[in-house]
Every structure is written in structure tokens, then in C-alpha cells.
Amino acid sequence: MADIETVIASSGGVASLTYLQTRGISLREIDRELRSGGLFRVRQGWVASPKARADIVQAVRVGGVLTCQSVLRPLGVWCDDDRLLHVRVGKHTTHLSAPHDRRVPLGRPGSRGVRIHRTVTGFEVPDPGRPVDSLETAVVHLFQCESRDNVIVSLDSVLNKKLLSRERLEELAAILPKKFRSFVSLTDSAAQSGLETKARLGLRRHGIPYRSQVFVERVGHVDLVVGDRVVLEVDGEAWHSGPLAYTEDRRRDLELLRQGFIVVRVSYAQVMNQWALIEEVIRSLVARREHLWAARHRRAGLASIGTGGDQRIRTK
């Protein structure tokens, strides 16, 4: 006999009555759990466990299911966090509620903070009875939710984590309007962070040649190399703030300088808020041709970049 606690836990702690019944849970059992406090009603036809994730409960209370960023972020996918609850509803669903109270219509004061996604025409949702969209459904809805660069940031992360293949991303993009199909061609599965992707796309817009995740002897992989010798290192807040990471970054910088590279190390805040300044510095170095090994460097025994990582030169 099915155990109601196990069944509802398998759907994220929130389930429709239909979902529970198809898995052997009777309405009598559900009513008993509601009376004892083991379950509570979220909205008509849906119940939840007190242990359920708050964002899943809120999405169902609104009148849909969790999708897009709200599904991708818990999986560790880089997203440009807009601090909104992303909810997918039916193409023609009406009478949506506030996430905190199903008696309050969505849109009333105090009920903001929700981004509604209408189900994409032509894309069949794998399991319409679940309160959380699948990874693939969430990705489909991401394409039409964010700016191009922010979508590519998330797609890079999906590829890097091997959550989906490039071929599958292309298939998903093919469902959408034509303008979205080029996004996949701009992705790079080697990208280690969303900041690196944003920097890469910024360079590409201006036709500045670069390589990503290049291996340098006695240093390891560096984020981006512009031309031959300008190394752009992008420091994320999470990975470069501790004393050990700080010391290692400085060791790497000194070794790169010893080998003749020019190091441009930038912070999270600079990439997000001062990209124009970073771009100006790099374009100045390129204009002075300092991004290339010169004869004097070769005579000094420099110009010895290692192999490994992505060695393709990419231009606009």
C-alpha cells in the first residue's frame, strides 16, 4: 500500500489530488491527513506537506507550477537573479492568486514579485501533474524570459554541469521563434562562471579575439586570454574572497607576469557595473598591440603559452 508521506515527498512536498490518487492514495486518506495537520490545502485540488519548499507552495498557490529561474537556481545553474518567483500557468489560465494568500488576486498591492510564464505552444510538458517543471521545460521558458546575454550565461552553466547536451539545447531552441536559435551557437561549455560568460560576450561584441579556459604552465587554467598575452581573470564573490583563494590568485598573477603576460583581474562588481571601463582598458591594450607577443618577447624566451583548454580564437 502506498504511503502518503512518501508519495507527496516524491513531488516536492506538493501534489494535486489527481496525482495522489493515481499513486494509490484515496480521498479518505487525504482528508484524514488534512484534519490531522499532516497536509494543508494550497488551492483547489492541491495539497502540501508542512515540509514542502515555500517557493513550490507559492507557485501552486498562484495557480501554476514553478519554472524558469526558480527551477534552475536550486540546481546550481548560474542565473541573473531577479528575485522573482517564476510561475508557469496555462495558455489561457485566469484568476491567478497572490503567492502568500489564494484569496488575494495576483497584482493587488502586496502580491507582486511574481513573473508569469504562459505555457509555450508546441512544447509538450512531460508531466503536467507535477508542481515543478522539468529542467528542459524550465530552459524553454528561460529563453523568452531573460536578455540574450543572461540566457547564454545560464546555458553555459547548464552545459558546463552536463545537465543537458548542446544537441538537446538546439532541439529545444528549435521549438521557439527563430531569433532564439542562434543563442546556443554562442555558448561555451568550458565557461566556469556566469561572470566569465558575460566578459566573453562583451569581448565578442567588439570583435576582440580571445580564448577561454587556457592552460598556462605553473599557473593552471585562466579565464580568458585576449590575443596572445592579455589574461583577463574574473573573480566571483564566492570563489575568490577567502584568504587562501586571495593568496593563490596573487601567486598566479606573479607567475603570469614572470612569463610575460599582462594580467587584468576584475571583480564581480566591476563586471556587473563597470564593464565599459574594463572594455576601454582592453581595447586600449589591443590598439597598442600589447596583446601580441613582440620580437623582444621571443628573444627573451617568452611567448610560451601552454596547451589545453579551448585554444580556438573567436572573433565576432
- What domains are there in the chain, each with its CATH number? 4-52 (1.10.10), 62-186 (no CATH), 194-299 (3.40.960.10)
Q: Count of alpha carbons within 13 Å of 104, Cβ hemisphere only?
A: 12
Percent of the chain with pLDDT over 70: 92
Mean pLDDT in residue range 71-80: 94
Please report the pLDDT score of residue 311 as a whole number: 40
Cβ atoms 308, 205 nearer than 8 A = no
What's the mean pLDDT in 168-180?
A: 93
CB distance 146 to 80 below 8 Å: yes
Question: Residue 238 above 70 pLDDT?
Answer: no
Average pLDDT over residues 254-274: 92
Q: What is the pLDDT of residue 111?
A: 62
> Rounded to an integer, what distance in angstroms lies between the CA atom of residue 279 and that of residue 70?
32
Rg of the chain on CA atoms, in Å = 25
Quick: pLDDT tens for 111-156: 679 999 999 988 877 777 789 999 999 999 999 999 999 999 999 9
Say how far apart CA 292 and CA 295 lie, in whole Å: 10
Q: Are 25 and 34 in contact (CB under 8 A)?
A: no
Nearest C-alpha neighbor of 270 from the set 243, 230, 234: 234
CB atoms within 10 A of CB 292: 16
> Which triple of cell numbers denotes residue 294?
613582440
Cα separation, 80 vs 153, in Å, equals 8
Residues 6 or more apart whose CB falls under 8 angstroms from that of 25 comprise: 2, 4, 7
Cα distances (angstroms) measured from residue 98 to each of 87, 113, 114, 126, 225: 11, 9, 8, 26, 48
CA distances from 214 to 44, 226, 271, 280 (A): 55, 11, 20, 23
Q: Taking a C-beta distance cutoff of 8 angstroms, is the pair 223, 212 a contact?
A: yes
Q: Is residue 304 scored above 70 in pLDDT?
A: no
Look at residue 14 and tell me whether its pLDDT is greater than 90: yes
For the record, the C-alpha cell of 224 comes out as: 580568458
